[in-house]
A and B are shown apart, each in its own frame.
Chain A
Amino acid sequence: MAGQPTSFETMYVQHFNEEARPLAYYLAKMNGYEAAKKAFGMTKDAIIDEVKKASLRGRGGAGFPCGMKWGFIPKESPKPKYLVCNADESEPGTFKDRDIMRYTPHMLIEGMLIGSFAIGAKAGYIYIRGEYVREAKLLNEAIDEAYAKGYLGKNVLGSGHDFDLTVHRGAGAYICGEETGLLNSLEGKRGEPRVKPPFPAQAGAFGGPTIVNNVETLADIPSIITKGGEWFAKMGKLEKSGGTRLFSISGHVKKPGVYELPSGGYTLRQAIFDVCGGMLDDKKLKAVIPGGSSAPVLTADEIDVVLDVEPVMKIGSMLGSAAIMVIDEDTCMVKLIQRITKFYAHESCGQCTPCREGCKWMEDIIERILHGHGKMEDLDLLMSITDNINGKTLCALGDAAAGPVASFVKKFRSEFEAYIRGEKHA
């Protein structure tokens, strides 16, 4: 990647090319499956401790500490345990997991092998979004390679640990990226989130204790085992947040793409202007969505925020899946939020009242404003609807839909008013 800084150690980007994909490359150049061998010599608790020391936060969006999550799995369970990889990557703007699956699939497979050993799962699933046709095929090829060489299957590497890994393709629903919606879909049911508790660690796939981790989270595991949790933790520049993160940067920048940056090592400004080479056509920056389309929008004045979970949360947005969408001065914010809201209304599963009814209502109102039929009180109504959705839904999709609308109306109110006054037309 052209703009990728090289002043720090990286785990992924140097391997993001076609040559890195085969098992032979992974074994020769990436110390492949050595971490698994090392892990099989460790106790399960020691592995989980190492991951805890690494301060590895989930890369899917919520940023939940991975080691702590693994610790929730009961040691003994009458039902089989499962390790599920969330490769649904459905948050708009996110495309980092795709590169891992495309170029370094064995990092993920080895990570799952180690994870399954640590939690005592004999079966694993990679739930991949249906649109990733090519990646599903590549993953299956890599899994076949791993089976052929004994890295998957019965008694892996003589450890006594059995692990079977299956790729399950989704059918194209955003909600199947929500972990319990994913589990329902995996079980062949409607992709609808479940009531929590019980959390998947107590009763997940097929009722068994289950860990659901993001692709990148799992792919980080081999490096943590090989080089140690402390090494990984130190790669991050903030406490409680270790490693590097893959950022999917898109929108109006000169060099969009996937970049690997230390957790908390860069500000949003640096990411846009240094890493990505600045604004496309040197236009003025208007706004940034810092963590996938569900993250509340930031204005151009707010980009000195450090890119990590807590700092972004502190200013009222979220880092989410580290999908940064950069928006220039020519972009109509009303049209943009109309498109985002339409997406969430379309992707709402329809189970719970505020999300099912509220998302579509917001979409209808914004659509009306855009087409010149808005009223000034619609803006307060929109804010009130976001209040009524936020934190009151069954899963996080409601919040994901409400957060952006509230932030757009609050921060770019004048643009909505221009449409309502008839100064602008769709």
Chain B
Amino acid sequence: MPKCTIDGREVEFKAGENLIEVARKVGIEVPYFCYHPALTVVAQCRMCAVEVEKMPKLQTACSTPAAEGMVVRTNSERAKQNQKSIMEFLLINHPLDCPICDKAGECDLQDNSYKYGDAYMRTSEERRTYLDLDMGPVIKKNMNRCIHCTRCIRFGTEVAGIHEMVAVQRGNNTEITTIDGRPLETDYAGNYADICPTGSLTLKDFRFHKRAWMLKKTATVCEGCSKGCNMEIHQDNNVIHRTVPRANPEINKYWLCDEGRFNYHYVVDPKRVTAPKVGAERSTWHAAVAEAKARLHGKKVVVLAGTDLTLEEAKLLQDFVPKAFPGSALLHFGTPGIETTAKDAPADKILKRKSKTSNLNGFEKLGIKPLESMPAADAILVVRGGRAQLPKVEGLSNVIGLGVFTESESASFAAVLPGTSFAEKDGTIVNYEGREQRLRRAITPVGQSKALGEVLMLWLHSGAAKEAAV
């Protein structure tokens, strides 16, 4: 492999790699704002300019591919002076409202300012201000904070496939906005907030919820569809405040769709059933389990399992069902019309897939059959993670829900045994291409919800109806 020298260290590189990436390999940070590894290089912010031997001018590291024998200095006096000056230029019009800005704590502008900027400002001129613009339900725009990196414009055209963000006006008056000030249309809008290096584009959903540094982060996987995009759950005090994409070059790169990003809301939805129920009434675990057992006892039972459950949960059910209800069918449900992986396909050109549950492939691998049409049964046990779309079970009197349901979904159920959602458990899911990935428990189960294994243990070890009365 060819080699170049960065800050005195020899580094191997692949042809075409730029100096930012090559320097990163040996732990040398070249600061930047406009560069993004998944977007075209525009070399606009000029923050990454470094000294390259034999070149009279500083070269922007983002747009300079490493070359054999190239000698680069990222921390020469000239490079450092440039970093200082770019920080100054960017801040002369920035409001510096970090104390009330949601980006603070995870802001490229703030971090680079801390590291490369000067403690003193030399400007006394009035700062540039812009009028506010409503960009729709997902993104809050604050143009005064913008540093014109144009990442959002490039994300729109190059990733989301929609030219909705544009630059208007010119020079110092340049405004980054949507065409004609229309609301954003893409269903990947949340990414605008992620890639914005300042607090110019923030999530309305997260706005004023929590300081970034208070959040505890759990690396997990999105359960929104069979794609298996990698994400992080950010919570504090057992409250999920947001989920953000976690880079995985082989699956979702740096992105997450809005459906997946905001999917977590049902976990903390006040309408979620988080206490055992018998009929419409809140109950104790013992009473609810007893009721469930009584309802299913001696009946012709069908067990329906959502493909939003993990492999481990599915395996538990595979072991449990034949013992508890000999001769009963265990069938899976998830997305109407997409009962098998053969019917699963991309739902758009970016990330989304048609199967709206995360583990259809896993269920197939375990040999569990899909629910095609409801078999004749006089009792049903529905087990669900929270996302699989419930099959029609109304009109049946002996339906027991085990897992995550809302009040209205479970209104006709004889009993509900509240279970855990994807954010409250560890487990494995298999995405559409057979990739096994781990869900990680980010928060403890909400309310009295219990993990499936716990509920089944309770089921197996609780005695007869007598005990339930306790």
Contacts and interface: CB of A to CB of B under 8 A. Distances in A.
A350 B174 contact: yes
B132 interface: no
A357 B46 contact: no
B49 interface: yes
B142 interface: no
Contacts of A360: 128, 171-172
Nearest to A355: B171
Interface in B145-178: 147-148, 150, 167, 169-174
Nearest to B170: A350
A359 B125 CA distance: 13
Contacts of A141: none
A225 interface: no
Nearest to A380: B122
A170 interface: no
Q: How large is the interface on A (under 10, 10 to 19, 20 to 34, 35 or more residues)?
A: 20 to 34
Contacts of B406: none
A388 B82 contact: yes
Interface residues of B: mostly helix, strand, loop or mixed?
A: loop
Interface stretch (B89-97, B263-271, B280-288, B294-302): B89-97
B215 interface: no
B455 interface: no
A364 B172 CA distance: 12
Nearest to A173: B170
Contact of B46 (A190, A354, A368): A354
Given A388-B85, A392-B46, A348 B171 contact: yes
A393 interface: yes
Interface in B116-130: 122-123, 125-126, 128
Contacts of A381: 122
A394 B43 contact: yes
A393 B43 CA distance: 9
Contact of B86 (A346, A353, A364, A391): A353
Interface in A367-397: 368, 381, 384, 388, 391-394
B44 interface: yes
Contact of B169 (A350, A352, A355, A391): A350
A349 B171 contact: yes
A345 B171 contact: yes
B47 A347 contact: no
Contacts of B89: 353-354, 356-358, 361, 388
Contacts of B173: 350
Given A351-B148, A381-B122, A357 B172 contact: yes
Interface string A253-267: 000000000000000
A348 B170 contact: yes
Contacts of A354: 46, 85-86, 89
A195 interface: yes
A364 B128 CA distance: 12
A348 B123 CA distance: 20
B148 A350 contact: yes
B57 A391 contact: yes
Contacts of B93: 357
B41 interface: yes
A364 B124 CA distance: 10
B167 A392 contact: no
A172 B77 CA distance: 40
Nearest to B56: A391
Contact of B42 (A351, A358, A393): A351
A399 to B, nearest CB: 10
Contacts of B171: 345-350, 355-356, 359-360
Contacts, number: 93
A165 B172 CA distance: 36
Nearest to A367: B125
Contacts of B247: none
Given A195-B63, A391-B58, A350 B42 contact: no
B423 to A, nearest CB: 40
Contacts of A392: 46, 49, 57-58, 82, 85
B419 to A, nearest CB: 52
A13 interface: no
B44 A359 contact: no
B172 A359 contact: yes
A305 interface: no
A62 to B, nearest CB: 15
Interface in A204-224: none
A190 B169 CA distance: 10
A195 B47 contact: no
B125 A365 contact: yes
Contacts of B43: 195, 352, 394
B16 to A, nearest CB: 13
Contact of A351 (B44, B56, B58): B44
Contact of B90 (A349, A353, A391): A353
Q: Give the residue among A347, A360, A364, A392 with the most B Cβ atoms within 10 A.
A: A392
B45 interface: yes
Nearest to A398: B46
A366 to B, nearest CB: 11
A361 B123 contact: yes
B167 A352 contact: no
Contacts of B147: 353
Contact of A353 (B47, B63, B167, B170): B47
A195 B172 contact: no
Nearest to B87: A353
Contact of A352 (B44, B81, B125, B170): B44
Q: Give the residue among B46, B58, B63, B174 with the most A Cβ atoms within 10 A.
A: B46
Q: Give the residue among A173, A356, A391, A393 with the most B Cβ atoms within 10 A.
A: A356
B83 to A, nearest CB: 11
B125 A364 contact: yes
B221 to A, nearest CB: 36
B44 to A, nearest CB: 5
Contact of A361 (B44, B57, B82, B125): B125
A228 B194 CA distance: 61
A394 B170 contact: no
A356 B148 contact: yes
Contacts of A347: 170-171
A350 B167 contact: yes
Q: Give the residue among B88, B122, B170 with the most A Cβ atoms within 10 A.
A: B170
B46 A356 contact: no
A172 to B, nearest CB: 11
Contact of A357 (B57, B90, B169): B90
A22 to B, nearest CB: 39
B78 to A, nearest CB: 10
A361 B85 CA distance: 13
A393 B46 contact: yes
Contact of B44 (A353, A364, A384, A388): A353
Nearest to B81: A388
A124 B57 CA distance: 33
Q: Give the residue among B63, B125, B172, B174 with the most A Cβ atoms within 10 A.
A: B172
A62 B283 CA distance: 84
A361 B128 CA distance: 11
24 contacts: A195-B60, A195-B63, A346-B170, A348-B171, A349-B171, A350-B167, A350-B169, A350-B172, A350-B174, A351-B42, A352-B45, A352-B46, A353-B44, A353-B147, A357-B89, A357-B92, A357-B172, A359-B172, A361-B92, A361-B123, A365-B125, A392-B49, A392-B58, A392-B85
Given A353-B44, A353-B47, A355-B171, 7 more contacts: A190-B167, A347-B170, A349-B170, A360-B171, A388-B88, A392-B85, A394-B46
Q: Which 7 A-B pairs have the closest CB atoms?
A: A350-B174, A388-B85, A348-B171, A360-B172, A357-B89, A364-B125, A195-B43
